[in-house]
Amino acid sequence: MSSTARIALNRPIRQLFDYTVPVELQLQPGQRVHVPFGRQKITGIVVETGSKPPAGITLKPVSYALEDWPALPAETFRLLSWASDYYQHPLGECLFTALPPALRRGQPAEEKPEICWRATSASPELPANAHKQKALLTLLQEHPEGLATSAITKSGYTQQQLKSLAGKGLAESLIRKPEPASHTADSDVTTGPTLSPAQENAAEQLVEGENGFNPCLLFGITGSGKTEIYLDYLKKNLARDKQALVLVPEINLTPQTVARFQRYFGARIAVWHSALNDRERLETWLKIRNGEPIILIGTRSAALLPFTQLSAIIVDEEHDSSYKQGDGFRYSARDVAVYRAHLNHCPIILGSATPSLESLNNAKQGKYKLVRLEERAKNAAPPSLSLLDIRSRPLEGGLSRPAISAIQQALNKGEQALVFVNRRGFAPVMMCFDCGHTVECPRCDTRLTYHRRDRAMRCHHCDYQTAATEACPECQSEAFKPVGQGTERTEDILGEAFPDTPVVRVDRDSTQRKGSIQAILKQVNKGEPCILVGTQMLAKGHDFPNVTLVVVVNADGGLFSVDFRAPEQLIQTLLQVSGRAGRGAKPGEVLIQTCHSDHPLLKALCRGNYLEITDQLLAERESGLLPPFRAMAILRAEGNTMEQSLQFLDSVKPMTQRPGIETWGPLPALIARRADRHRAQLIINSGTRKSLNHLLRQICHHLDLAATRGKVRWMIDVDPLETG
Ligand code: ADP
Ligand code: ZN
Ligand code: ZN
């Protein structure tokens, strides 16, 4: 009798599929196979072999194996199986997340040679106006060894222009095999600065108790030189034949970080982020899977890749919310990384100037070792923070007089200023001062944001947009004006107030084009006086030595939010953005505009003691029965009407009524209607992780069987970051 195998497919269903295995096939878990599914043939991943299928069913056979080794080796397979259960997400989709797109589609796990181009010896006869083609030809002539197609298109040329050169006999293609990774010899690698005594001290504590699972929380203030410590740690502790994973929140925003790693480790550095193309993903994935001794610097999904020689993990800015996936497989890359270090018996360093309450609590409980770095590298002093009460001050574009004159002073001294606005666009709303009308999104319960640059009104919660109007669409009044602050409006006001100084805006709109953030950083790092205006993007890890002043336009958004994480996130953002001031030789100053200058949280922030604040917040979480003292999950429902969604959750609620579990809701979500779906949620809180996990498993099982499909979409978010 032939054996059977249980296969996971890349489908959002909590079900595995049984197939028979032809005798000549030896299958093992994690291996890619081709299987018939309905009338299609699709790629699957072996989960189990020798399983006993239900009697009386005729199984179809596995067609063939895509390779004779498991694409997902044992440790990665265990990690993903654990994550599937922890986050209650279908195993198939979890497993496929660890494959590059080409392998998900069933393509072979090997690098295809890439087509290269070079100039021929023919003498160019191009029309005088063919500037682009001439430039391309010059580019090719500068690279007689040949240039890969991808490199050419990245430089701004099209396949069409290439073909047209080739058609004229001026360029020819050749096939080049991918070059084997060359590993930089030690002599090519520069050494960084000598560690300061404080850094040295921290570095020593990280190594103590080495070998085995050894989680450390490196709490180092902004500019304290944490990156230097990571580099030093890897240099001293990572064997030449081993792999390391360095997770960062966003790579494109901080190209400096990758450059610093490359200076130390040369070709051992590889990167993983969303801007890679399919070929680059496959190439890097193969290196990781083949156990090449690389150090991977990557964003969220890098935590799931099939390392086989992983022996150190670093999570930089561990508090950053971008580590949590917001839809689909809602995992936290930080938490997955910690579990992975545990599976691999390897050390993990979680670094931040503003550690999350979760990690601080783990440190308090002795699960993580707390390592502190309390002074800035290069003798820079921490910035001084002060509150600027704007209750009865006239504002221009959100900026008060004292803030404007502080900016003027910084510029006079030849320094740079950074203005932090928490919203992109021109203004959050357009309001009619005659009838009070504001423009709402027709598909969501939100107002549209006014973007003046392209005269559009946009919804930041769905993709709706419409043209902006001059007059009130309701009463035709001309008194239809922007209210509140967005980055564009602040940029305008600053441009008027400081006509001779460059004003540089950094937000999702201004950095959409590839390479634009690099250009912006380059300009700022020239060090000449300028004003940076931007959103959270500016708070992340940048090292601008000549920024000495930070102005926070309005700090009050997070003070009275219903989301229990809002105060933590507000403090972290304010400290991170403050940390951009005074990183060089000159001291930094931070002005925080607020209408609540007596708010205890803001006052504590100015005293500069992060742990004092987090102790307070932790105490509030504990008495409020909130994470990290309870394990939380949210069951979300999206129906065609609110009634449908609430009814659905009401029908689940009785399952949750058991000792040790509290439920809140069901209640409409904060934005109750989004893209025309009516959203409600049931918050489930448990005293133990285990009982929460057990309950969620039962709920999923129950709902998978229930015939509610199609009417109400539901999803589970474990350890949710947003509870609104
Ligand atoms: P963090 O990541 O903690 O915010 P960085 O690692 O970016 O800090 O360091 C801040 C700045 O200090 C960087 O410009 C870095 O090159 C510099 N730096 C770090 N350590 C040292 C050192 N030991 N000697 C001199 N400069 C240092
Ligand atoms: Zn009106
Ligand atoms: Zn919308």
Which of 502 and 509 is assigned the larger pLDDT?
Answer: 502
DSSP 439-468: PBPSSSSSBPEEETTTTEEE-SSSS-EEE-
Work out the pLDDT band at 266, boundaries 50, 70, 90.
very high
Sign of CA dihedral 221, 225, 231, 232: negative
Which has the closest alpha carbon to 434: 469, 483, 472, 482? 472
Residue 110, CB-side half-sphere exposure with 13 Å CA sphere: 7
Q: What's the angle, vertex CA 48, arms to CA 46 and CA 52, rounded to 5?
A: 125
Nearest atom within ligand 1 for CA of residue 541: 4
Nearest atom within ligand 1 for CA of residue 199: 23
How far does the centroid of ligand 2 lie from the alpha carbon of residue 400, in Å?
29
Which of 246 and 497 is assigned the larger pLDDT?
Answer: 246
Instruction: Fill in the DSSP letter of residue 187.
Output: G
Enumerate residues lining ligand 1, CB below 6 A.
193-196, 199, 220, 222-228, 377-378, 543
Please give the pLDDT value at position 646. Answer: 94
- pLDDT of 424 > 70? The answer is no
Percentage of residues in the chain having pLDDT higher than 70 = 94
Nearest CA to ligand 1 atom 24: 193
How far does the centroid of ligand 1 lie from the alpha carbon of residue 193, in Å?
9
How far does the centroid of ligand 2 lie from the alpha carbon of residue 571, in Å?
38
In whole numbers, what is the pLDDT of the chain averaged over residues? 87
- pLDDT of 190 > 90? The answer is no
Give pLDDT tens digits for 402-414.
999 999 999 999 9
Contact call for residues 199 and 359 (beta carbons, < 8 A): no
**Ligand showing the shortest atom-to-Cα distance for residue 228:** 1
How far does the centroid of ligand 2 lie from the alpha carbon of residue 432, in Å?
5
Nearest atom within ligand 1 for CA of residue 316: 2
d(Cα 469, Cα 588) in Å, to the nearest integer?
A: 42
DSSP 144-183: TT-EEHHHHHHTT--HHHHHHHHHTTSEEEEEEPPPPPPP
- Which of 219, 543, 575, 577 to mutate for ligand 1's pocket (most ligand atoms within 8 Å of CB)? 543
Give pLDDT tens digits for 631-669.
999 999 999 999 999 999 999 999 999 999 999 989 998
Please give the pLDDT value at position 186. Answer: 47
Contact call for residues 385 and 605 (beta carbons, < 8 A): yes
Give pLDDT tens digits for 73-129.
999 999 999 999 999 999 999 999 999 999 999 998 887 667 788 888 777 677 878
Contact call for residues 11 and 92 (beta carbons, < 8 A): yes
**Ligand showing the shortest atom-to-Cα distance for residue 473:** 2
DSSP strands (E only) in 206-277: 214-220, 243-247, 269-272
Nearest CA to ligand 1 atom 9: 225
How far does the centroid of ligand 2 lie from the alpha carbon of residue 45, in Å?
59
Nearest atom within ligand 1 for CA of residue 222: 4
Which of 699 and 585 is assigned the larger pLDDT?
Answer: 699
Nearest atom within ligand 1 for CA of residue 226: 3
Nearest CA to ligand 1 atom 21: 377
How far does the centroid of ligand 2 lie from the alpha carbon of residue 483, in Å?
14
Q: What is the mean pLDDT of residues 376-387?
A: 83
pTM of this prediction exceeds 0.75: yes
**Ligand showing the shortest atom-to-Cα distance for residue 447:** 3
d(Cα 503, Cα 281) in Å, to the nearest integer?
A: 36
- pLDDT of 514 > 80? The answer is no
**Ligand showing the shortest atom-to-Cα distance for residue 441:** 3
How far CA 280 is from CA of 100, 270, 433, 490, 504, in Å, comes to 9, 10, 53, 39, 32
